[in-house]
Amino acid sequence: MMQDETETTTARRNFYGRIHGKTLRPAQKVYLSEDLDSLRPRGVTRAENPEREPVDPAGIFGDDRAVWLEVGFGGGEHLVHMAARYPGIGIIGAEPYVNGIAMLLGKIRAAGVENLAVHPGDARDLLEVLPEASVAKAFLNYPDPWPKRRHHRRRFVTQDHLILLARVMRPGAEFRIATDIPDYVRQALKEVPKAGFELVLESAEPWADWLSTRYEQKALREGRAPHYLTFCRP
């Protein structure tokens, strides 16, 4: 996700940056107009669900399959990779960055995966309405680092966000974090256990089913080492 230092005027601070980037290509505009609506879970936005009634994942995927969640999917390559590798799983991706959403939709078309749902907005809106203990695995891959100390409270690995995530994670659920920022690792190791998770593994080696993202490749080119953290919800 891309960074913007503009302060939010809403009651809650955004953990992501800007939501628009370069002008979309014509094909990307087509993806947004033709594909997004059918992939978007209903009842997530405050306009659709002001009372914040629970949204049943079975209504999203049509059955009671296990549900995974990716918070901030960037360009969508990891999300599509996991959907193709685990076709029996329902995976929800949440991302407010319009250019990233458009890139994901193009990848979905190319891969032909059918077990994805896309929330084009703040992941917190989704976390508020998913039922308790309804998510079996969650991913946070190369989140916005907010490197300046005064912005660390905007990072996703703060209690305001993590408590929401912990509520929807089922017992035994895995929470994976990938980042190239050592201070983000420090904060995650401190804050994630406070929200009710246990550290399982801290590694310089990725998971066996990991797909390196564009953000990771950029980090490697610039000499930053990736870190991979695995937590479990007891």
In the sheet with 135-141, reading across from the earlier edge strand, the strands are: 116-119, 90-94, 67-71, 135-141, 169-179, 227-232, 198-203
- Catalytic position from the list 35, 122, 144, 180: 144
How do 227-232 and 90-94 pair as beta strands?
A: unpaired
Q: Which of 130, 121, 141, 149 is nearest to 90 (CA)?
A: 130
CB atoms near residue 108 (< 10 Å): 22
Cβ atoms of 90 and 136 closer than 8 Å: no
How far apart (Å, rounded) are the C-alpha atoms in residues 131 and 218? 36
For this structure, is 144 an active site residue? yes
Q: Please calculate the CA angle 83-106-143 and round it to the nearest 5 degrees.
A: 65
Which active-site residues does the annotation give? 144
